[in-house]
Amino acid sequence: MRQCLAVSRRLSNAAGFLAICCLFAGSTPSQARAQGVNKETTERGRKMLAQIRKDLKEFYYDTTYQGFDIDARFEIADSAIRSARDPNHMLAIIADYVHELKDSHTNFYPPSKVARIDYGFTSGFFGDSLFITSVKKGSDAEKKGLKRGDVVLQFEAFKPDRKTFNTVRYVYYALSPRERLQLQVRSTDSAQRQLNIEAKVTMGERIIDYDDPIQRTRAIDEYDAAVRRPDHYYMSLGDSVLLWRMPSFAVGTDGVDAMMKRAKKHRSVVLDLRNNGGGLVSTMLHLVGHFFDREVPVYDLKTRKKNEPMIAKPRSKEPYRGMLVILINSNSASASEITSRIMQLEGRAVIVGDRSAGLVTTAYSLPREVGFTQVLSYTVQVSISDVVMPDGQRLEHIGVTPDHMIIPTGADMAARRDPAMAKALSVVGVTISPEEAGMFFRPQPKKGDSK
């Protein structure tokens, strides 16, 4: 198991998690309601719960479990599973058991649904407001008039709050997706409207039969698409600035080395870590090492047994000495947060954008199975260590505050303007409008792409 700083989108400090699940229990798809919880399903749930407790006891970095009585709470959850109303309620009970640890990287990811649910839009926080960031062409969301740049005032029964909304997101997108959503939104002209959006339901296969040529071809196509997706995006503004967008740290170091070779041909680098949810510790340390001619203590790793300093070692005799600006936003998490903060603490980079996610621990992702003839796969993610920066501060639940706080408006998003990129370029001496900055890295539209 490799140490990973991959982001979890279930926020850890929301109260009443099980109550959130129960609020919409009546809107469960009819097929799930009719199914009920038979004895076999109940036993599977209890086995999942028992395995999760075992994994927490073996791997969780804090042996006091942050004051959480892991055994007493297990007995309560185990009893609740026996009287669960339906499978979704049972999964919510298991998720609530994990959620009470209030740890961003300790999570329960339930067995995959046979049907995939697509709401037809994406959203994200900018400042303290939840904005629609894209709407899929041909979706019911588009037909109902949802637009990029709309502010979400109400998401079903919940008013979006940056501190707690990822709990809601986890429930609706991972734990128990809905066939329809009700949103109250405000458009860029300040008009408010209520939308009832039907999700696109795509039936899948619980078991993939590789002897079936259709299923085999689909699996190969999905693999090819993932393999061919670039790890890095870049463009040069002459020899003055290299624009580098890095979507994830879950990549190898060879690509980082190649990008740094390009960087040395430029006087400045703008590293775009917006929406970068983290990845491999090794890649993050490797990247940081390219900017120093000495060993840099990046953070202390607090585990069950010891505190271990994580050191970035210089990657060459001549590190990159040009100016560095890093872009972050509310979706920048884990490794991207640590990278930004250590560069900020060392005075090596200027940080531009929005406050980062504050989701920073290292974790194991543990694939698990339950059943014999009919096997259900699920995943338990467990934090194995905490992260303390050289200034003695944690980033968990706090995040990184930029040197220049630049938050786009709904009108900026609707017009695809990028004021944060424009500001980053101004820091390195390049004057460009937010409209021009919004053209960088914009993908060519394809059939079915988000608008």
How crowded is the C-beta side of 26, counted as CA atoms within 13 Å?
1
Q: What is the model's pLDDT at position 201?
A: 82
pLDDT for residue 345 is more than 60: yes
Mean pLDDT of the chain: 86
Q: What is the model's pLDDT at position 26?
A: 40
C-alpha distances out from residue 212 to 112, 114, 202, 205, 222, Å: 21, 17, 19, 12, 16
pLDDT for residue 356 is more than 50: yes
In terms of pLDDT, which residue wins out, 186 or 450? Answer: 186
What percentage of the chain exceeds 90 in pLDDT?
67
Q: How far apart are CA 451 and CA 136, in angstroms?
A: 6
The 10s digit of each residue's pLDDT in 158-215 is 999 998 887 888 888 877 788 999 999 999 999 999 999 999 987 655 444 545 555 5
Q: What is the model's pLDDT at position 376?
A: 84
Q: What is the model's pLDDT at position 450?
A: 46
Q: Is residue 251 a contact partner of residue 286, using CB atoms and an 8 Å limit?
A: no
Q: Is residue 427 a contact partner of residue 324, using CB atoms and an 8 Å limit?
A: no
pLDDT for residue 386 is more than 80: yes
Q: What is the model's pLDDT at position 166?
A: 79
What percentage of the chain exceeds 70 in pLDDT?
83
User: What structural domains and CATH numbers belong to the chain?
Assistant: 115-167+175-203 (2.30.42.10), 229-361+385-437 (3.90.226.10)
Taking phi first (over 0 means left), then psi (-120 to 50 degrees means alpha), and beta for anything else, what does residue 138 get?
A: left
pLDDT for residue 60 is more than 80: yes
Q: Give the confidence band of 444 by pLDDT, cuts at 50, 70, 90.
A: very low
Average pLDDT value for residue range 243-269:
96
Q: What is the model's pLDDT at position 449?
A: 44
In terms of pLDDT, which residue wins out, 307 or 291? Answer: 291
pLDDT for residue 86 is more than 80: yes
The 10s digit of each residue's pLDDT in 30-49 is 444 445 688 989 999 999 99
Average pLDDT value for residue range 239-250:
95
In terms of pLDDT, which residue wins out, 225 or 171? Answer: 171
pLDDT for residue 28 is more than 80: no
Average pLDDT value for residue range 105-129:
87
Q: What is the model's pLDDT at position 15?
A: 41
The DSSP letter of residue 10 is S
